[in-house]
């Protein structure tokens, strides 16, 4: 087995993945034997294939700045190893740089890729161990309570939604706001917006991909809120599907025949067209976009600390002989003060699997989230900003002011 460690960033960015990188760097400085080195590849596994790998040599000031830097400091890729030629080039780089341990910092797809890589290296007698350090925005990794990246995305969404709801109530006119959030197959991020109620008012309607999205029922839901309040705020994740199993962005009447596989998400146009076809009041449809995964300016302190801790732990585990595992986070029993416990699971227990929002958190009406979800999310997102109670909020309206055409 080689002496050196190779660190790779993979998949989509998060606000704290560079904090994990800093944990790896600091642990390597403290624990690697004399003469051993930490390497990184530009753009993940693509850099390994191309031989674009460099030794990480950073001073403490550079490390501190990196820990607060959004997105991926070493670049990423979604490229998957497929051919024998790909694997041959990877093994050539491993041999040339005397790599004994590969730390992949990635999400759901990276877990499966890491397991395939480990099995191929073992079959070829390479002797190099692979560990996965988790990260995710969607929170869809199985076998862990959550992964770094999700709490910061949730914090950003909660704060932004609370601010938008206050904007909604700035004028006395009827108004509908529909906000698109990330969440390909899971509703963890959408459900987090319930916490906006802790600093003002929660959304009126929250939908999740775990339930079928019925456009006609959505219109009825919005109308019921408008009849009662004269305003409505709805949260809809990018990954909701209709009863036909179609994503909303696959609607060709909105996307004008474009291939929906080009870009995940983009349901804001659909929601806008749907609402404008049924309501005459002002309508604002907003996509929170990439800021959900790169807003380091309001990253969760808990998230940042856990991200760096997992980076340090990954180095310790690698040097003690662990391989073909994913690091994960557990928490204490319900009702206890939040205290994370870091452990590992075999890659086989998470690769190819997806976590989903438990049904117990989803309201029977299909457009609400149980208050019990706050016990899960609040410890992760950190202290929220204080805001004043204002007289603008009004949960009732006088008379019949139907916004329907």
Q: What is the mean pLDDT of residues 303-312?
A: 98
> So what's the pLDDT on residue 399?
45
Report the alpha-carbon distance of residue 405 to residue 279 in Å, rounded: 6
Grade residue 308 by pLDDT with cuts at 50, 70 and 90: very high
Report the alpha-carbon distance of residue 36 to residue 94 in Å, rounded: 14
Q: What is the mean pLDDT of residues 265-294?
A: 94
> So what's the pLDDT on residue 402?
46
138 a catalytic residue: yes
DSSP sequence for 84-106: HHHHHHHHHHHHHTTEEEEEEEE
Q: Please say whether the beta carbons of 41 and 108 come within 8 A.
A: no
Calculate ∠ Cα 287-290-291, nearest 5°: 90
Grade residue 396 by pLDDT with cuts at 50, 70 and 90: low
34 and 142 inside one domain: yes
Q: What is the mean pLDDT of residues 169-185?
A: 95
Q: In whole numbers, what is the pLDDT of the chain averaged over residues?
A: 92
Q: What pLDDT, in 10s, does the model give residues 27-80? A: 999 999 999 999 999 999 999 999 999 999 999 999 999 999 999 999 999 999
258: left (phi over 0), alpha (psi -120 to 50) or beta: beta
Tokens read off for 76 = 């990423």
Tokens read off for 147 = 């992964």
The one catalytic residue in 138, 174, 204, 287 is 138
> So what's the pLDDT on residue 95?
97
177 and 290 inside one domain: yes
Grade residue 296 by pLDDT with cuts at 50, 70 and 90: very high
> So what's the pLDDT on residue 312?
98
203 and 131 inside one domain: no
Which residues span the domain enclosing 372?
Answer: 150-295+358-381
Q: b or e along 143-168 (b: 16 or more beta carbons within 10 Å of the residue's beta carbon)?
A: bbebbbbbbbbbbbbbbbbbebbbeb
Distances (CA, A) of 34 to 28, 37, 76, 191, 282: 11, 8, 29, 48, 66
Is 234 strand, coil or helix?
A: strand
307 and 191 inside one domain: no
Count of the separate structural domains present in the chain:
2
- CATH code (residue 305): 3.40.50.450
291 and 369 inside one domain: yes
Q: What is the mean pLDDT of residues 345-367?
A: 96
Q: What is the mean pLDDT of residues 363-383?
A: 96
Grade residue 401 by pLDDT with cuts at 50, 70 and 90: very low
13 and 143 inside one domain: yes
Q: Please say whether the beta carbons of 140 and 246 come within 8 A.
A: no
Q: What is the mean pLDDT of residues 140-169?
A: 97
Q: What is the mean pLDDT of residues 153-160?
A: 98
- Indicate if the pLDDT at residue 397 is higher than 80: no
Q: Is residue 400 part of a domain?
A: no
> So what's the pLDDT on residue 2?
85
15 and 131 inside one domain: yes
Q: What pLDDT, in 10s, does the model give residues 66-102? A: 999 999 999 999 999 989 999 999 999 999 999 999 9
99 and 175 inside one domain: no
Taking alpha carbons only, the member of 85, 77, 7, 73 closest to residue 41 is 7
Taking alpha carbons only, the member of 172, 138, 180, 365 closest to residue 274 is 180
Q: What pLDDT, in 10s, does the model give residues 225-272? A: 999 999 999 999 999 999 999 999 886 454 455 554 445 568 999 999
Taking alpha carbons only, the member of 146, 205, 186 closest to residue 357 is 186
> So what's the pLDDT on residue 15?
97
């Amino acid at each position: 087995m080689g002496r050196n460690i190779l660190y790779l960033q993979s998949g989509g960015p998060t606000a704290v993945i560079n904090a994990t990188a800093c944990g790896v760097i600091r642990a390597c400085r403290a624990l690697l034997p004399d003469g051993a080195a930490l390497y990184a590849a530009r753009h993940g596994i693509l850099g390994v294939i191309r031989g674009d790998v460099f030794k990480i040599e950073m001073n403490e000031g550079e490390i501190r700045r990196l820990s607060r830097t959004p997105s991926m400091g070493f670049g990423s890729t979604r490229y998957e190893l497929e051919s024998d030629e790909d694997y041959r080039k990877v093994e050539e780089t491993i041999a040339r740089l005397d790599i004994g341990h590969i730390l992949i910092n990635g999400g759901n797809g990276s877990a499966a890729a890491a397991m395939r890589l480990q099995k191929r290296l073992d079959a070829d007698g390479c002797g190099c161990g692979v560990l996965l350090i988790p990260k995710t925005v969607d929170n869809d990794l199985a076998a862990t309570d959550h992964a770094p990246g999700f709490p910061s995305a949730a914090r950003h969404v909660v704060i932004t939604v609370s601010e938008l709801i206050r904007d909604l109530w700035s004028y006395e006119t009827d108004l509908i706001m529909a906000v698109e959030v990330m969440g390909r197959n899971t509703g963890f991020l959408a459900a987090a917006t319930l916490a906006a109620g802790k600093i003002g008012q929660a959304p009126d309607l929250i939908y999740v991909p775990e339930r079928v999205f019925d456009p006609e029922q959505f219109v009825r839901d919005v109308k019921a809120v408008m009849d009662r309040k004269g305003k409505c705020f709805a949260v809809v994740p990018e990954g909701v599907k209709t009863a036909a199993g179609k994503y909303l962005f696959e609607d060709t009447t909105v996307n004008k025949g474009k291939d929906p596989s080009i870009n995940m998400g983009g349901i804001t146009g659909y929601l806008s067209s749907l609402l404008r076809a049924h309501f005459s009041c002002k309508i604002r449809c907003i996509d929170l976009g990439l800021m959900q995964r790169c807003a380091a300016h309001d990253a969760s302190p808990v998230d940042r600390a856990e991200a760096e801790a997992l980076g340090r732990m990954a180095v310790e585990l690698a040097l003690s002989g662990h391989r073909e595992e994913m690091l994960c986070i557990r928490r204490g029993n319900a009702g206890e003060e939040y205290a994370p416990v870091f452990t590992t699971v075999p890659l086989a227990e998470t690769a190819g699997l997806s976590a989903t929002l438990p049904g117990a958190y989803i309201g029977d009406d299909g457009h609400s989230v149980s208050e019990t979800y706050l016990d899960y999310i609040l410890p992760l997102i950190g202290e929220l900003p204080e805001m004043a109670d204002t007289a603008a909020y009004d949960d009732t309206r006088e008379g019949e002011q139907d916004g329907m055409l």
